[in-house]
Structure 1
Amino acid sequence: MVTLLAPLDRKLLRDLWRIKGQALAIAAVIALGVLMLVMMTGLVNTLEETRRAYYDRYRLADVFAPVERAPDRVLERLAEIPGVAVAVGRVTGSALIDLEGEIVPVRAQAVSLPDHGPARLNDIHLTAGRMPDPDRGDEILLLKGFADARGLAPGDRLQATMNGARHGFRVAGLAQSPEFLYTTAPGEIVPDDARFAVIWMGRDALSAAYDMQGAFNEALVGLERGVNLQSVLDAIDRVLEPRGGLGAYGLEDLPSNFFITEEIEGGRKNAIAVPPIFLGVSAFLLYIVISRIVQAEREEIGLLKAFGYTDWEVASHYLKLMLTIAIAGAIAGSLGGIAAGRAMAGVYQDYYKFPFLVFQLDPRSFVIGVMTSVLAACAGGFGVLRGVFRLAPAVAMRPPAPADYSGTGRLAGLWSRLLDQPGRMVLRRLQRQPMRMAGGALGIATGMALSVGMIGVQAGFSKSIDLGFSVLDRSDAQVSFTHPQSDKAIYELGRLPGVQEVEPVRNVPVLLRHGLNDHRGTINGMLSAPRLARAMDEAQRPLTLPEEGIVLSTTLARVLEAAPGDVVTAEVREGRRPVLDIPVVAVADSLLGSPAYMNMEALNAALKEPGRVSGAYLRIDSAVQDEVLVAIKDMPGVAGVALKAETRDSIQTMMDSGMGMMRYIMLAIAGVVTFGIVYNSARIAFAERVHDLASLRVIGFSRGEAAFVLLGELGLVTLAALPLGALLGYGMAAAVSAAFSTEVYSIPLTFDAQSVGSAALAVLASAAFSGWLVKRDLDRVDLVTALKMGE
């Protein structure tokens, strides 16, 4: 087979075998870049396609319109709005589930189902058991994620409080719904299957529980294609306004859909930002390797041209060498990306509770991966190929002129006295070939920067949680009320034995607008100088909330494109639903969600509802915490209690799942790439100096002394790379932190001594292991063969 190949192709195979170590290292870097590209784009496509199929199959509504109470006949008017294809009404309400052995009741959302036939919109996927019997008002469906977390199954019974009355229910079946892919309690952003449930039951039974016979408190609307969403929302609001409409919103503002959209966008940003880093590193490595080969094969290039090979034929040989490495890496990366994408897709299916998964790769990612690998190879070898074209046969076959080192000076007398002969040889080479040494240091620094960036992101995730739950939130528990109450409820909480401190809050749902931008969220009314739940600036100094104005989180300010001095419009979605124009007075650093803060007294005054609270933060004596929670549970108007410790665990789980889990993969990849770069640098230095090292052995140097000449050089280059790697790592950490940050959580830029030190240790360990491998090869060198190599 080999004899059938052209002479240059046989030389190509020999060259690949000779540099197999470097070739594998470079191919691995390319493969990892392509793997990240294929995996991330595949995950983004899988999530988008699965979400689309799930929404279509179970007819998720396009518009949600909550209302205090509207008679069923109003649905006819909604259906007559131009662009509306279908409008249905349903009953929803908050509930508390009491589980045996649990002190804190579980918050739940009750949702009505049609008593007869499938739902026209927002249908459910039955996973176990059967549908509730319309003639039995005590039968319910339970959200599968909650049932699995609590060990519940069809046939089990549970107690729930709805609208102030206690009810007993029997679980008829378990279900999933596209409306609840990401389940959080109202007002929270952290999912926890064990702390929030969804109950589905017949329309008549749920209407009786909430006094909604013949009425609904939420309209679901399906739209025709090509309809202007805003015009339909405005029309729905006009119809429901007299009935206490709370503001219609589109699917993009549905909390579950919002969170999964953020996940998709985060994956898309990572797919764009991360792979080019690896491909750029591979281009640099290819340039170093191929330039060394060309320099070593000057005479062979001259002979080839003298025997009639054209400039292009000779240059194409080296181009094939680069392309073979690049394409092999791209193919390996594509296959690895498929396998990794499938594995990660299963994680997403569990995390987002999809009943099925439509795994779909993006064919463009393979094309882009191969093409960018080829371009990286060409970019890395362009300068080398230009040198091949310039070599004339007569010039190439002559040995290169000896280098002139007269301008580099001599070693200072002190170094000459302190260092032995091998040490002076190491230092003299660094002095005489500074650019080559700088290139090697730059390559190692690039690998270190990858590790610094990823270790910094790891630390950023931990810092985000520590700041959120140790600095911003210093409470032990948060109590929420079913509706705004008099501030007397705060005094009642404060009188409970074991409650050490109480801090009231007023949370008001609003639609914030600034220019063409809007955001559906909540204004958090707090004390002017809160102690338990605080807002802080970028320097982590507590903010004092002024008597006028609103403080936006950094994420929200970016979404609204608002800054201090601007005026935002707040359309309140409760009570009398006033529209407020509020000046922005400051921007606060927020790590979770996109909150807005106001002085509670100023907020209540603007709403003309003085002395109203919607919840409180508590500091509790840990010795009597259970007794306090039992007492709070029995207080009227309490919607739920969230323990900070449980919330923290839920956030840790959230950050370790989905795209957050990707940081572990990227950290492992960064470690592999760092080792590949360091090992490649060591192999290049070994190949360049094997003749010189063999000569040293022949004239009497021991194996250790000859190895010291090579490894001492590698050690000094590695040490020189460390400060440069730390500097590049700062930029890498900033870029990756920005890529991982979303509207759900922000990852602060973390660049500290621990991150840099950990990355430096990884580089030094890679250098030590690479040096051991190279020394082993040096000990096995055939001196006669090495000395026969051309200068």
Structure 2
Amino acid sequence: MSVLDRKLLRDLVRIKGQVAAIVLVIAVGVMLQVMMSGLVASLSETRRAYYERNRLADVFAPVTRAPETVLARLAAIPGVALLDGHVTGGALIDLPGEAVPIQARAISLPDRGEPVFNIVYRIAGRLPEPGARDEALLLAGFADAHGIVPGDRIAVTLNGARRKLLVTGLAESPELLFVAAPGEMVPDPARYGAVWMPRAALAAAYDMQGAFNEALIALGRGASQDAVIDAVDRVLAPWGGTGAYGRHDLVSDRFVTEEIDGLATMSRAVPPLFLAVAGFLLYIVVNRMVQAEREEIGLLKAFGYTGHEVGAHYFKMVLAVALMGAALGCVLGILAGRAMVPLYTTFYNFPFLVFRPDPAAFGIGVTASVLAASAGGVFVLRRVFRLTPAEAMRPPTPPDFSRTLNFSGVAARAFDQPTRMVIRGVARAPWRALALSAGIAGGMALSSGMTTIYGSFDRMMALAFTVIDRSDATVFFVQPLGMTAAHDLARMEGVIAVEPFREVPAVLRHGLRTHRGSVSGMIAAPEMARAIDADLAPIDLPERGIVLGEALAGILDIRPGDMLQVEVREGRQPVLEVPVIRVARSLIGAPAYMRMDALNRALAEPGRISGVRMRVDSDRAEAIYDDLKNRPAVAAVSVAETARASLQKLMDQGAGSARYIMGAVAFIITFGVVYNAARIGMNERARDLASLRVMGFSRGEAGFVLLGELAVITLVALPVGSLAGWGLSFAIARGFSSELYQIPTEFDPFSHGFAAAFVLGAALVSGLLVKRDLDRIDLIAVLKTRD
């Protein structure tokens, strides 16, 4: 080992506290890079393999009822490589102890052989016997949530007829990765199920003998999906086709894709912030070391070491710290990624999901950490090359402080001597103070930004379920009914009020942008579910026109005054051209609002409603829900309290849980920045502080001079960091937001106050650690120091 390498090891041990702090900052940045990139790669690859092995269809074409002879016409469409028609329909599952009827989807299985598309992945049990009328596979996630096992029987209502089905096995399907009940946006395996039954039995239940109500299509190589969809729609139009759509518009795939895209965005945006902070800290540390070791650098050059050799020695220190941090970050990234996998399997029905780190993430993480560290080191090493032995071995020219602050008169009487020394210390080295203050401000920004996001998630929940939607439950009908259905429900004992609505599936188009969703028709002055503006005031729906949620307006890139094309996928399926009147604040989903009477006029279906929202007496709620189970016209019941609990669980244990990891990382970095600032101040002024001790200053007075400067630097950093954190919170909120939910961001005094308290606490702890070392200074060694 060379002399310089031995010196390198001694230097690393000597500043081990600062090295550990910087290594930790680098490690968390690389950890997030490896974890997020690995999750993106794992989710993407697992989804691709699952779709491929289980043959998920490329195009889905729902239809009211079409004879099987139509399949031949669909097969003749150019670009169609393979197709199949199957039967599907809505169902209700009645479980003991569940007051609310549970929505489900019934899907046909071939009476013989394997399905052409969407092959089920059996988790347990067996397939139903061919020709069996009361046997079914059950969605595994739903079964696990309710403790159902093969061999159990469940009560299922199919097309108004109640049947007892034997559960022969548990299964998953590629079309049901994300499962949410119709009318809800939150996945909850306990609140939505799926049953697979033999084709003949399900066709008999839904009056589909010799017919199908959904065509599944695989495209040939080079086929145009849009052209195939247009042709399919033309063929199925006479039979009640409601509009074919591609895999990217499948609700399940759309939400999984949004989750993957959100992770990919965060993996590109967040880790560089942490690595930039680490590079800044390394710059300060190495810069201080080079200044403190001027004489040693001069001696090394005098003994024959070249500028490149000496510069390489300090550069090795930078690389050693960066590589230690990168190595630790890679290990932590793998562990964190594996810990996150169960969270995704809880909310997404992958039959298997193994965390496989993306090899490129390791390379990117290590390279980025080395580059970030080197960027700061390069600027410092220029001084090493410029120093000649004669110049380096002379003490640096004393700075001229004659024009800095002088205290006289009232100022001299107002401040004691240690306080004046603190103020002069900051004033005489303004750039050093600004650099340290900027570092602390960066830590404050990370902490306040993440703390604001915590509050934003809670605010989103509160606004969504107490301001926008104030109902207790939502009842959906099997098909649109007259207003008498709302009156009937209003007369139920325990029902306080009802509010009818009309929900119409539609494809919304603006220019080249499209969105497959729905239009919500509401009464003129709704009280339970409302569109609100940025100030949380209710928006009066216009007689003509449409109001879009913020998320939907962003997807379509549309503004008030623009015209929106609405292709209705129900009934007569008219194509409407409506002006956009307002953009409403949306927090869950991507809603579009119209006056219900105007929507019904456009559909030529006056007085029709899709369901009602209800306010109920909590003491009678269970009896009301039990009564709704037995009403054939009721397709589903969504309870607000249950939906809120599901969304809270998703944010705490699912995708939103990443905010806790990022928050912990932000606070770790903040402490590392503050500790390094205190340690750097101690190292830079160790000789001055020790001299004060020799001159008769007490330990407390010497400590006051050091920690007073840290206090001033920290207090200056707080407002700057708070302002930067406010801006950063908008960027983080955009990263977490998706079509499922949008995170509102505004200045939260509590969040910024909490972050400021943490920074002050970190400064206090760092100051105590540094003062402990100051109290241990060897005064004899100071007396021997040559200036």
- Tell me the amino acid that sits aligned with residue 11 of structure 1: K
1: distance between equivalents of 2:36 and 2:167?
A: 39
1: distance between equivalents of 2:253 and 2:280?
A: 42
In the other structure, the counterpart of 1:314 is: 310
2: distance between equivalents of 1:658 and 1:414?
A: 61
- Tell me the amino acid that sits aligned with residue 124 of structure 1: V
Q: CA deviation at 1:273?
A: 0.8
2:409 is the alignment partner of 1:396: no
User: Does 769-778 or 137-146 show the bigger shift?
Assistant: 769-778
Q: In 1, are the aligned partners of 2:187 and 2:646 still within 8 Å (CA)? A: yes
2:475 is the alignment partner of 1:500: no
Query: Which one of the candidate residues 254, 279, 287 is aligned to 1:291?
Result: 287
In the other structure, the counterpart of 2:603 is: 607
Corresponding residue SS for 1:200? strand
Q: CA deviation at 1:783?
A: 2.2
Query: Which one of the candidate residues 268, 277, 280 is aligned to 1:281?
Result: 277
2: distance between equivalents of 1:187 and 1:238?
A: 28
2:361 is the alignment partner of 1:365: yes
User: Does 567-576 or 317-326 show the bigger shift?
Assistant: 317-326
- Tell me the amino acid that sits aligned with residue 742 of structure 1: S
1: distance between equivalents of 2:171 and 2:547?
A: 41
2: distance between equivalents of 1:310 and 1:268?
A: 46
In the other structure, the counterpart of 1:421 is: 417
Aligned alpha-carbon RMSD (Å): 1.4
2:44 is the alignment partner of 1:68: no
Deviations 1:214-262 (A, max 9, x none): 1110111112233211111111111111111111111111111111001
1: distance between equivalents of 2:633 and 2:373?
A: 67
1: distance between equivalents of 2:409 and 2:502?
A: 76
Q: CA deviation at 1:334?
A: 1.4
In the other structure, the counterpart of 2:549 is: 553
Any stretches of 5+ residues in structure 2 without a counterpart?
none
2:568 is the alignment partner of 1:578: no
In the other structure, the counterpart of 1:209 is: 205
Q: CA deviation at 1:634?
A: 3.1
> TM-score scaled by structure 1?
0.97
Aligned residues: 787
2:761 is the alignment partner of 1:765: yes
In the other structure, the counterpart of 2:727 is: 731
Deviations 1:369-398 (A, max 9, x none): 122112111221232122222223322221
Q: In 2, are the aligned partners of 1:690 and 1:786 still within 8 Å (CA)? A: no
Q: In 2, are the aligned partners of 1:62 and 1:250 still within 8 Å (CA)? A: yes
2:34 is the alignment partner of 1:38: yes
2:553 is the alignment partner of 1:565: no
Aligned counterparts, 1:90-109, within 5 A: 90-109=86-105
Query: Which one of the candidate residues 327, 332, 355 is aligned to 2:328?
Result: 332
In the other structure, the counterpart of 1:676 is: 672
Distance 1:788 1:134, change over 3 A: farther
Query: Which one of the candidate residues 225, 229, 232 is aligned to 1:233?
Result: 229
Q: CA deviation at 1:703?
A: 2.1
2: distance between equivalents of 1:134 and 1:156?
A: 19
Deviations 1:415-439 (A, max 9, x none): 4323333222222212222221121
The percentage of aligned residue pairs carrying the same residue is: 57
Deviations 1:6-42 (A, max 9, x none): 2222222222122111111111111111111111000
In the other structure, the counterpart of 1:781 is: 777
- Tell me the amino acid that sits aligned with residue 110 of structure 2: P
- Tell me the amino acid that sits aligned with residue 712 of structure 1: G
2:475 is the alignment partner of 1:447: no
Aligned counterparts, 1:411-560, within 5 A: 411-560=407-556
In the other structure, the counterpart of 1:27 is: 23
In the other structure, the counterpart of 1:744 is: 740
Corresponding residue SS for 1:656? helix
Distance 1:100 1:767, change over 3 A: same
In the other structure, the counterpart of 2:697 is: 701
Q: In 2, are the aligned partners of 1:95 and 1:162 still within 8 Å (CA)? A: yes
1: distance between equivalents of 2:202 and 2:647?
A: 32
- Tell me the amino acid that sits aligned with residue 418 of structure 2: P
User: Does 241-250 or 366-375 show the bigger shift?
Assistant: 366-375
Distance 1:789 1:93, change over 3 A: farther
Q: CA deviation at 1:697?
A: 2.1
1: distance between equivalents of 2:372 and 2:63?
A: 58
Q: In 2, are the aligned partners of 1:459 and 1:750 still within 8 Å (CA)? A: no
1: distance between equivalents of 2:266 and 2:383?
A: 37
Query: Which one of the candidate residues 172, 176, 194 is aligned to 1:176?
Result: 172
In the other structure, the counterpart of 2:352 is: 356
1: distance between equivalents of 2:747 and 2:420?
A: 37
- Tell me the amino acid that sits aligned with residue 297 of structure 1: E
Q: In 2, are the aligned partners of 1:290 and 1:318 still within 8 Å (CA)? A: yes
Distance 1:788 1:525, change over 3 A: farther
Corresponding residue SS for 2:620? helix
User: Does 243-252 or 98-107 show the bigger shift?
Assistant: 98-107
In the other structure, the counterpart of 1:153 is: 149
Q: CA deviation at 1:790?
A: 5.0
Corresponding residue SS for 1:558? helix
- Tell me the amino acid that sits aligned with residue 419 of structure 1: F
Query: Which one of the candidate residues 707, 710, 713 is aligned to 1:711?
Result: 707
2: distance between equivalents of 1:225 and 1:411?
A: 83
Corresponding residue SS for 2:627? helix
In the other structure, the counterpart of 2:161 is: 165
Corresponding residue SS for 1:182? coil
Distance 1:250 1:790, change over 3 A: farther
Q: In 1, are the aligned partners of 2:188 and 2:347 still within 8 Å (CA)? A: no
> TM-score scaled by structure 2?
0.98
Q: CA deviation at 1:630?
A: 2.8
Q: In 2, are the aligned partners of 1:41 and 1:271 still within 8 Å (CA)? A: yes
2:302 is the alignment partner of 1:302: no
Query: Which one of the candidate residues 120, 123, 128 is aligned to 2:124?
Result: 128
Deviations 1:82-113 (A, max 9, x none): 22221111111111111122221111111111
Q: CA deviation at 1:472?
A: 0.3
Any stretches of 5+ residues in structure 1 without a counterpart?
none
Query: Which one of the candidate residues 215, 223, 230 is aligned to 1:219?
Result: 215
Q: In 2, are the aligned partners of 1:529 and 1:543 still within 8 Å (CA)? A: no
Corresponding residue SS for 2:542? coil
Corresponding residue SS for 1:406? coil
- Tell me the amino acid that sits aligned with residue 560 of structure 2: P
In the other structure, the counterpart of 1:687 is: 683
Q: In 2, are the aligned partners of 1:266 and 1:659 still within 8 Å (CA)? A: no
Q: CA deviation at 1:410?
A: 0.7
In the other structure, the counterpart of 1:590 is: 586
Deviations 1:170-219 (A, max 9, x none): 11111111111111112321111111110111100000000000111011
Query: Which one of the candidate residues 187, 190, 195 is aligned to 1:194?
Result: 190
Which stretches of structure 1, 4 residues or longer, exceed 6 Å deviation after superposition?
none
Q: In 1, are the aligned partners of 2:131 and 2:201 still within 8 Å (CA)? A: no
Deviations 1:531-551 (A, max 9, x none): 110011122111000010111
Corresponding residue SS for 2:503? strand
